[in-house]
Amino acid sequence: MIFNSLAFFGFIAVFLPLYFGLKGKWRLWLCLVGSYFFYGWWDWRFLSLILTSTIIDYVVGLQLDQTTDEAKRKRMMITSMVVNLGFLAFFKYFNFFIGSFQEMLMGFGMNPSINTLKIILPVGISFYTFQSMSYTIDVYQRKIGVEKDFIRFATFISFFPQLVAGPIVRASDFLPQFQKDREFDWNRVTAGTGQILLGFFKKVAVADSLAPFVDQCFAAPGNFGSLHLLIGVIFWSFQIYCDFSGYSDIAIGLARVLGFDFPDNFKTPYFSKNFSEFWQRWHISLSSWLKDYLYIPLGGNRSGSFGSVFFLVIAMILSVFVTRWWWLIPIYILGTIWIMYRLKKDAKTRARTFTYMNNMVTMLLGGLWHGAGWAYAFWGFLHGLYLIGQRVFGPPWGKLLDAMRTPKFIQNALAIAIVYFLTCLAWIFFRAPTFDIAEQVISGIVGFEGFSFGAVVNQFWVAKGVILILILLSIEIANLKFTFYKVVQENPIFRVISFAGLIWLIAFFGTFGSNSFIYFQF
Amino acid sequence: MWIPALIVLLFIGDRAGGWVLEQMTKSSNFRYSRMYYQNADAEILLLGNSRGLMFYQPEVEKLTNKKSFNFSYNGMPIQMGSALVKDYLDKYEKPEILLVDITCADRNNAALIAGMSAYAPVSQRLQDLIQEVNPTAAGAAKLTHLFRYNSEIWQRAMRYIKGSDETWLNDREINQFMIDKATVEKPLDFTFSSEKELNPADLMNNIKSLVNYAKSKDIKVRLVVNPYYPPFFNRSNGFENWKDNVEKIVGQKVNDYSTALNDPKYFTDYQHCNKLGSIEYLKLLKRDGLLD
């Protein structure tokens, strides 16, 4: 079931009165049954996957709590990881692994015939798997206590507002909120409704209105001129932002109506002045997850680990043989020599080098989390490169601008523009179905040929897209100063005007047809 | 307290906004605005989807010395065309000729029909059609007037708020990239597979109903198939069978010009002629007496 469908409105119309009418255990049961119904609406067969993950992590949690034998605890934790990552590996990455292996063998001159399987990707598997895993790791590390109530635990894993596209909520944040009944609170309902409306505006009006133009550009870039493609890429950057942050807003708003607090998932990311900041503003729940459960265990910005070296070597070998971009080999060799040279230097240089390596591994795996394809890995690679580049070139660049006495606001504007430009460049690989198409889009833009839009309908899409992006940006700029839902909660006049304004905008600009959310496929 | 205030504001804003947009629609020079709100008297009526825009009006009028009115619109299905032509025939003096490119009867397009909400308040036929193909959109258009104008059709009306739409045509030459791909592109399919959400009986009956309605008003009806880019069209599936069906059900000959033009310079893409091609095609229609 998706939020922008009539089925969801029917579901929520039944769910909400029941939710506030019930108390205690009954309410928990309602949340659980409602969440399973919400997920099963898409394909009930995959409920068994969530249930299996839930049972295993619940049992592992209890076992971890009951024993002090560290070896046994470790075995239990590994069991949970194997099952969770096993599901993810099979349903999401099986064909990718097989295909890459096949491509690699072909790179060696062999011609293997290995069959792939027709596997349906369960919606939201990456989200609930990460949420479930974080619970087990936290219990293992004794950061949180074990949850002994199975219904409460199962509701935490499957809670419908954020089940299929996040935000990924930590057990330490979310489970305690189930301890007592959330009372009906008008203030929360109004604040939550405001955020839901904002989410619908982003998704239904902005993202879905930009989609046709973007689809057209990435379907056959050879048919379009430079300006057309450039606008297509800019529109895509806003489409994916509005699609995903719109979902997060609806999920967070819905949770707020129900009495729960979820952390923010997006904070005006396109106003970031560097890439570290970007990742603290974009899909915050994933980037903080990757930081806590991957980057820091790899050594963070202090040391390296066997894991980061191993993964980098594998990634280098695979990328060469799968893409057959042989020119990568000398670059990798030079990179390896550079790394080895730096590792022999002082502790500070070593720590910095490990930071670069860990950044790269985290971003590569973050890219692969989004989708089973080399394009996603390349997107992650670019972001890894940006983070490293920022650490290497950021300080001298800042000094240069200071030396030139560049005013601070120009420095900031320049930084925002550079980050946005490089982010868009990476988005091209994220969106293009193949590297070939991505290359066509880029060469089409830099070719500086063709500045017309062809069919008149393209002009409508551009005009509508520009108007919507300007409205969005004004909301975003306002959001830099104050938090929308808080003002909605506190100021009734602003509430009435903003609610009415958003509903008018949705009615006049919305694209209605139950278009799915992009992040569902992740 | 704030909820009643919100409802009142929503209602007032929606109706006020709707009224402003309606005034803009009325004053547009777009074809349906002229037809429903202004004057669109003509002796030759032209109907089709985007391929119907090949009936390039300045050339039609030059060749015939008669005033024309083109109903064609990108992706227009025959149900919508039929409703529009019937509305026209009820409102205006009888024209001489109705020229229909029947390839607008090869698919449905519920989204486009819903987009006619901007004109539905003045057309019972359009209201009924929208209600039939997209009851949710019909309901939403009654609930909120702003929603009536949330469509490409209304944007098109705004495009022609000043200039005339009678020269509307994609006038560029097919590029080499498309020429090279013509023989590998997915072929056209006239076999009405269920995946295209087609109901062939409905579509055929709509042409039949339109033709009969026009004939009952003593109007000469000409059915044609406008040109396609031959290397692309020659690979289409089921065209002959489909054309025969139209002739059998409607009881009238279909004049087939699907491969009448060959030179790539006449085309803007696989399914549309550019201005040069349209003029060439209209000369063929004139030669064959279909504009007389």
Instruction: With a cut of 70, say whether residue A409 has pLDDT above it.
Output: yes
Query: Contact B126/B116 with Cβ under 8 angstroms?
Result: yes
For residues A348-354, give the mean pLDDT: 85
Query: Contact A196/A250 with Cβ under 8 angstroms?
Result: yes
Q: What confidence category does residue B246 fall into, taking pLDDT thresholds of 50, 70 and 90?
A: confident
Instruction: With a cut of 70, say whether residue A70 has pLDDT above it.
Output: yes
Task: Decide if A463 touches B, using CB distance below 8 A.
Answer: yes
- pLDDT digits 0-9 by tens, B201-225: 677 888 899 999 999 999 999 999 9
User: What pLDDT shows up at residue A498?
Assistant: 93
- Residue B161 inside a domain? The answer is yes
Instruction: With a cut of 60, say whether residue A55 has pLDDT above it.
Output: yes
DSSP class per residue in A353-405: HHHHHHHHHHHHHHHHHH-SSHHHHHHHHHHHHHHHHHHHHHHHHHHHHHHTT
Query: Closest residue of B to A462, CA-based?
Result: B155
Query: Contact A453/A228 with Cβ under 8 angstroms?
Result: yes
CATH of the domain at B106: 3.40.50.1110
Task: Decide if A492 touches B, using CB distance below 8 A.
Answer: yes
- Alpha-carbon distances of B257 from A159, A505, B47, B68, B254, rounded to whole Å: 60, 45, 16, 21, 9
Q: What confidence category does residue A517 fall into, taking pLDDT thresholds of 50, 70 and 90?
A: low
DSSP class per residue in A22-37: --HHHHHHHHHHHHHH
Q: What confidence category does residue A113 fall into, taking pLDDT thresholds of 50, 70 and 90?
A: low
In one-letter notation, the amino acid at residue B50 is S
For residues A249-264, give the mean pLDDT: 92
For residues A330-357, give the mean pLDDT: 86
Regarding an ipTM greater than 0.85, the answer is: no
Task: Decide if A186 touches B, using CB distance below 8 A.
Answer: no
User: What pLDDT shows up at residue A114?
Assistant: 64
Could you list the beta-strand ranges (E) of chain B. 44-47, 68-70, 97-101, 220-225, 254-256
How many folded domains does chain B comprise? 1
- Cβ within 8 Å, pair B17-A500: no
User: What pLDDT shows up at residue A452?
Assistant: 66
CA distance B105 to B127: 20
Half-sphere exposure of residue A88, counting CA atoms within 13 Å on the CB side?
Answer: 23
CA distance A8 to A351: 50
3-state secondary structure of B265: helix
CA distance B27 to B145: 18
User: Which one-letter DSSP state was computed for residue B195?
Assistant: G
Instruction: With a cut of 80, say whether residue A321 has pLDDT above it.
Output: no
For residue B103, what are the domain limits?
A: 2-287
Scored b (16 or more CB within 10 A) or e, A19-42 reads: bbeeeeeebbebbbebbbbbbeeb
Query: Closest residue of B to A499, CA-based?
Result: B6
Query: Contact B271/B51 with Cβ under 8 angstroms?
Result: yes
Q: What confidence category does residue A456 fall into, taking pLDDT thresholds of 50, 70 and 90?
A: low
> A207: exposed, middle or buried (C-beta count within 10 Å: 0-12, 13-18, 19+)?
buried
> Which residues, including other chains, have CB under 8 Å from residue A162's CB and lie 6 or more apart?
A127, A168, A169, A251, A252, A255, A262
Tokens 């205006």 sit on residue: B92
Instruction: With a cut of 50, say whether residue B30 has pLDDT above it.
Output: yes
Q: What confidence category does residue B190 fall into, taking pLDDT thresholds of 50, 70 and 90?
A: confident
Instruction: With a cut of 70, say whether residue B254 has pLDDT above it.
Output: yes
- Cβ within 8 Å, pair A508-B149: yes
| Chain B contact set for A463 (CB, 8 A) | 155
- Cβ within 8 Å, pair A460-B5: no
Query: Contact B277/B172 with Cβ under 8 angstroms?
Result: no
Portion of chain A with pLDDT greater than 90, in percent: 38
Task: Report the residue from B10, B155, B159 with minimal CB separation from A503.
Answer: B10
Q: Which of residues 125-154 of A touch B (CB under 8 A)?
A: none
CA distance A512 to B2: 28
Query: Closest residue of B to A455, CA-based?
Result: B170
Pairing assessment for the beta strands B44-47 and B97-101 based on DSSP bridges? parallel
User: What pLDDT shows up at residue A520?
Assistant: 57
Q: What confidence category does residue A96 fall into, taking pLDDT thresholds of 50, 70 and 90?
A: confident
For residues A238-256, give the mean pLDDT: 94
Count Cβ atoms below 10 Å from residue A512 Cβ, excluding itself. Answer: 20
- Residue B254 inside a domain? The answer is yes
User: What pLDDT shows up at residue A166?
Assistant: 72
What mean pLDDT value characterizes chain A? 86
- Residue B292 inside a domain? The answer is no
- Residue B262 inside a domain? The answer is yes
Sign of CA dihedral A227, A230, A232, A234: negative
Highest mean pLDDT among A86-100, A267-281, A324-338: A267-281
Portion of chain A with pLDDT greater than 70, in percent: 94
User: What pLDDT shows up at residue B96?
Assistant: 94
Highest mean pLDDT among A449-458, B10-19, B150-159: B10-19
Every domain of chain A and the residues it spans? 6-181, 187-266+446-521, 286-401
Q: What confidence category does residue A521 fall into, taking pLDDT thresholds of 50, 70 and 90?
A: low
- Alpha-carbon distances of B112 from A178, A465, B109, B129, B151, rounded to whole Å: 47, 19, 6, 11, 8
- Cβ within 8 Å, pair A6-B136: yes
Task: Report the residue from A457, A496, A499 with minimal CB separation from B152.
Answer: A457
Of A512 and A33, more confident: A33
User: What pLDDT shows up at residue B236?
Assistant: 86
Sign of CA dihedral A359, A363, A365, A366: positive
- Cβ within 8 Å, pair B170-A463: no
In one-letter notation, the amino acid at residue A111 is N
Query: Closest residue of A to B272, CA-based?
Result: A455
Region for residue A417 given its phi and psi (left: phi exceeds 0; alpha: psi -120 to 50; beta: otherwise):
alpha
Instruction: With a cut of 60, say whether residue B57 has pLDDT above it.
Output: yes
Instruction: With a cut of 80, say whether residue A227 has pLDDT above it.
Output: yes
- pLDDT digits 0-9 by tens, B34-48: 999 988 999 999 999
Query: How far does CA B66 lie from the centroid of its chain?
Result: 21
Task: Report the residue from B111, B152, B172 with minimal CB separation from A460.
Answer: B152
Instruction: With a cut of 60, say whether residue A38 has pLDDT above it.
Output: yes
- Residue B176 inside a domain? The answer is yes
User: What pLDDT shows up at residue A519?
Assistant: 57
- pLDDT digits 0-9 by tens, B105-133: 777 788 889 999 999 999 999 999 999 88
Query: Most A CBs within 10 Å: which of B133, B152, B272, as the mutation test of the A interface?
Result: B152
Could you report how far apart the first and last alpha carbons of chain A are, in Å?
A: 16
Q: Containing H/E element for A421?
A: helix A408-431
| Chain B contact set for A509 (CB, 8 A) | 150
- Cβ within 8 Å, pair B178-A463: no
For residues B83-103, give the mean pLDDT: 94
A253–chain B nearest CA distance, Å: 18
Q: Which of A178-182, A507-511, B153-157 has the lowest mean pLDDT?
A: A178-182
Q: State yes or no: is A370 an active-site residue.
A: yes
- Residue B137 inside a domain? The answer is yes
Contacts by B275-278, CB closer than 8 A, 24 or more apart: B275/B56, B275/B169, B275/B171, B277/B54, B277/B227, B278/B53, B278/B54, B278/B55, B278/B56, B278/B59, B278/B169
What mean pLDDT value characterizes chain B? 90
For residues A502-521, give the mean pLDDT: 77
Kindly report the pTM of this predicted structure: 0.85
Highest mean pLDDT among A380-384, A435-439, A453-457, A510-514: A380-384
> Which residues, including other chains, have CB under 8 Å from residue A65's CB and lie 6 or more apart?
A139, A145, A146
Q: What confidence category does residue A467 fall into, taking pLDDT thresholds of 50, 70 and 90?
A: very high
Taking Cα atoms as reference points, which of A156, A137, A139, A422 lies closest to residue A275? A422
Task: Decide if A500 touches B, using CB distance below 8 A.
Answer: yes
Q: Containing H/E element for A316?
A: helix A306-323
Query: Contact B59/B285 with Cβ under 8 angstroms?
Result: no
Could you list the beta-strand ranges (E) of A448-504. none
CA distance A161 to A171: 15
Query: Closest residue of A to B14, CA-based?
Result: A504
User: What pLDDT shows up at residue B195?
Assistant: 45
